[in-house]
Structure 1
């Protein structure tokens, strides 16, 4: 099988793949505006809490390292 025929068969298969993608996207249940707003709020609150937690852990570890090194 030559290189060009392999490339051509790849393009033919990708056309079927794109059709399958659109078919699956039609089956997706998209969230409405209210759901999207609440999901976004949950994500933002979670990220904020995680950032505060990691800040505290980082501050604690750096304080511990400074104490161990005697600075």
Structure 2
């Protein structure tokens, strides 16, 4: 593996950074909104699953005691 000097490394990093296609403000906002919506949906889903499992466990514990 060839050694790269710090100056050459910085040059390569800058060259790669120029290739990056950054999202527009509109795309960023749309993505953030979708993340919030999906997070909310998943939170309610897991709340429901947790409630069902809690009910099952409480029922089973009630059978024992």
Normalising by structure 2, we get a TM-score of 0.74
Match of 1:54 in 2: 46
1:11-30 correspondence to structure 2 within 5 Å:
13=4, 15=6, 16-30=8-22
Which structure's residues are more often helix, by fraction?
1
Question: How far, CA to CA, are the matches of 1:64 and 1:58 in structure 2?
Answer: 10
Q: Tell me, what secondary structure is at the counterpart of 1:23?
A: helix
Q: In structure 2, do the counterparts of structure 1 residues 18 and 66 end up closer, same or farther at CA, with 3 Å as the change threshold? A: farther
Instruction: Tell me which residue corresponds to 1:66.
Output: 58
Structure 2 residues not aligned, in runs of 5+: none
TM-score, structure 1 as length reference = 0.69
In the alignment, which of 32, 38, 43 is matched to residue 40 of structure 1? 32
Alignment coverage as a number of residue pairs: 60
* Mean Cα deviation higher: 61-70 or 21-30: 21-30
